[in-house]
Amino acid sequence: MSIETTQNAALKIDLESATPQERVAWAAEMFGDELIMTTSFGTHSAVMLHLVTSVIPDIPVVFIDTGYLFPETYRFASELTESLNLNLKKYRASTSAAEQEALHGRLWEQGEDGLKRYNFMNKVEPMARAVEDLGARAWLAGLRRSQGETRAKRAIVENQNRMTKVYPILDWNNRQMHQYLTENKLPYHPLWDMGYVSLGDWHSTSKLEAGMTEAQTRFGGQSRECGLHEPSGSVDFQI
Distance CA 90, CA 108 (A): 22
**Torsion sign (Cα): 67, 91, 228, 187:** negative
CA dist list (Å): 2 to 8, 65, 69, 117, 159: 10, 31, 37, 31, 11
Judge whether 226 counts as a catalytic residue.
yes
Name 49's Cβ contacts closer than 8 Å, sequence gap at least 6.
39, 61, 80, 84, 86
| Structural element, H or E, at residue 100 | helix 97-104
- Of 61, 226, 228, 235, the active-site residue reads 226
Give yes or no for a contact between 41 and 73, defined as CB atoms under 8 angstroms apart.
yes
- Tell me the pairing of strands 87-91 and 157-160: unpaired
Which of the residues are catalytic? 226
